[in-house]
Amino acid sequence: MKKLVVLFLGVFAVLTLSACGGAVDIGIVLPTNDEPRWVQDEERFEALLDETDYSVEILFSDGDTAVERSNVESLVAQGIKVLIITAQDGDAAAAAVEHAKAEGVTVIAYDRLITNTDAVDYYVTFDSIAVGEAQAQYLVDNATGTGNPLYLYAGAASDNNAFLFFEGAWNVLQPKIADGTFELINSSEAVNHRSKAALTRDELADIIDQVTTNWDFNEAINKAEAHLTEATADEKGDVFILAPNDGTARSIADTFLDDNDVSSIVITGQDAERASIQYIIDDIQSMTVFKDVRILVEDAMTVAVDVLEANEISTTGSYDNGSIDVPSIQTDVIVVDRNNVLEVIFDSGYYDEDDFDNIDDLN
């Protein structure tokens, strides 16, 4: 009797496993659906799903490493062969991908590098140094004379991209801080390092830790308010703001424009989020760095399908993640402001003009 039950349970377990196993081919894990950036990615992945014969499941991690870990475990249990993952925290995600890798899954880091592990097979990314350089160049191109007040903000220190963006920005800003074009207002750590053209990771971390938004709108507002309270009227006027992405740019822009001593702002962003495209049309946010998610999604899916079909994978470079050089495929970025938004965002079909107001004001 006992034997029979065990046998029955055994058969049941195998049936359950095989019902799950093989059910999903490609698992996609995105960090949060609270930010329009990642909802964009989800939409662009979904747009491609009709074209593939493979089954794909997309899960969000609610900005939480533990949820991310259980998402990965559940996809692995469903038999995925390829995992496409944007880590919530680059270091913390190592354990999750090591679990997947141990089960024979090929791991593709999507947009954010997973660090200090050898369990990453490919990295599909934008040129993030170029993002920071483009943001900084925009500030430089719009500044005249000397002593222009400069406020710096950064992404989350748990995201390797925050370092790449800031490194790129520093490459361009540092000489213009050194020659007096800009005066640093809100970061004593940036002041400490202002004469160094190239910063170490620790020096970058000093500044990022001080001016981080953690990619969080409320933290961006709170920091901006604190900085404005501390700054004198002389340190306001026509200000220049390095904001790391669109969500934080809108929050910081609103906060600065509420201050009576601020006469004008030049403020950066990235992601070409719908709300920021509207802010650009309305001349509130100065620019965004357009990262065409359609290309990133297509690159990631191409690698995934090539893995499933055992085709050769072509990569264009590599990124050192602290443990190995991860083969990478990298996409360029485009600066968008009021001058080219029509052409780059609407004429290209990225967004539909009908979803926006005041487009006629651009002409």
In 3D space, the residue among 355, 313, 305, 301 whose CA is nearest the CA of residue 47 turns out to be: 301
CB of 1 to ligand BGC, least distance (A): 57
CB of residue 119 to ligand BGC, shortest distance in Å: 20
What is the rounded distance in angstroms from the CA atom of residue 284 to the CA atom of residue 93?
A: 36
When the beta carbons of 271 and 292 are compared against ligand BGC, the nearer one is 271
Q: Work out the burial of residue 274: count CB atoms within 10 Å of its CB; fewer than 13 is exposed, 13-18 middle, 19 or more buried.
A: middle
Among 69, 101, 112, 236, binds ligand BGC (CB under 6 A): 112
* 251 interacts with ligand BGC by CB under 6 A: no
Contact 269, 258 (CB under 8 A): no
Least distance in Å: CB of 144 to ligand BGC? 30
> What residues does 123 pair with on adjacent strands?
109, 328
Residues binding ligand BGC: what is the number (CB under 6 A)?
A: 11
Residue 284, phi then psi, degrees to nearest 5: -100, -55
Specify the pairing of strand 122-126 against strand 237-242: unpaired
Nearer to ligand BGC among residue 110 and residue 240 (C-beta): 110
Q: What are the two backbone dihedrals, phi and then psi, of residue 161, each rounded to the nearest 5 degrees?
A: -60, -35
Query: Is residue 115 at the binding interface for ligand BGC, with CB under 6 A as the rule?
Result: no
Determine the Cα angle at 292 with ends 289 and 296, to 5°: 125
Minimal CB distance residue for ligand BGC: 245
For ligand BGC, the binding residue among 137, 161, 186, 286 (CB under 6 A) is: 161
- Chain-centre distance for alpha carbon 336: 17
Which residue of 271, 292, 298, 299 would you call a contact of ligand BGC, by CB under 6 A?
271
The stretch near ligand BGC (CB under 6 A) out of 67-75, 154-162, 224-232, 256-264 is: 154-162
Residues whose CB is less than 8 angstroms from the CB of residue 71 and which lie 6 or more positions away in sequence, other chains included = 27, 29, 59, 60, 61
Query: Smallest gap, in angstroms, from Cβ of residue 171 to ligand BGC?
Result: 18
127 binds ligand BGC (CB under 6 A): no
Instruction: Confirm if 316 and 329 have CB atoms less than 8 A apart.
Output: yes
Shortest distance, position 35 Cβ to ligand BGC, whole Å: 5
Shortest separation between residue 236's beta carbon and ligand BGC, angstroms: 27
Binding mask 42-61 for ligand BGC (x = CB under 6 A): --------------------
Of residues 32 and 117, the one with the C-beta less far from ligand BGC: 32
Three-class secondary structure of residue 9 per DSSP: helix
Q: What is 337-358 written as a DSSP string?
A: -TTTHIIIIIITTSS-GGG-S-
Q: Which of 35, 41, 298, 299 binds ligand BGC (CB under 6 A)?
A: 35
Q: Measured between alpha carbons, how far is 357 from 179 in angstroms, rounded to an integer?
A: 41
Our finding on whether 159 is near ligand BGC (CB under 6 A) is yes
Q: Looking only at residues 209 through 248 of this chain, which bind ligand BGC when binding is defined by CB under 6 A?
A: 215, 245
Q: Is 147 left (phi over 0), alpha (psi -120 to 50) or beta?
A: left
Considering only 65-73, 101-109, 153-161, 349-357, which stretch makes contact with ligand BGC by CB under 6 A?
A: 153-161
- Within residues 294-333, the interface with ligand BGC by CB under 6 A covers none
Interface with ligand BGC by CB under 6 A: which residues? 35, 37, 111-112, 155, 159, 161, 215, 245, 270-271
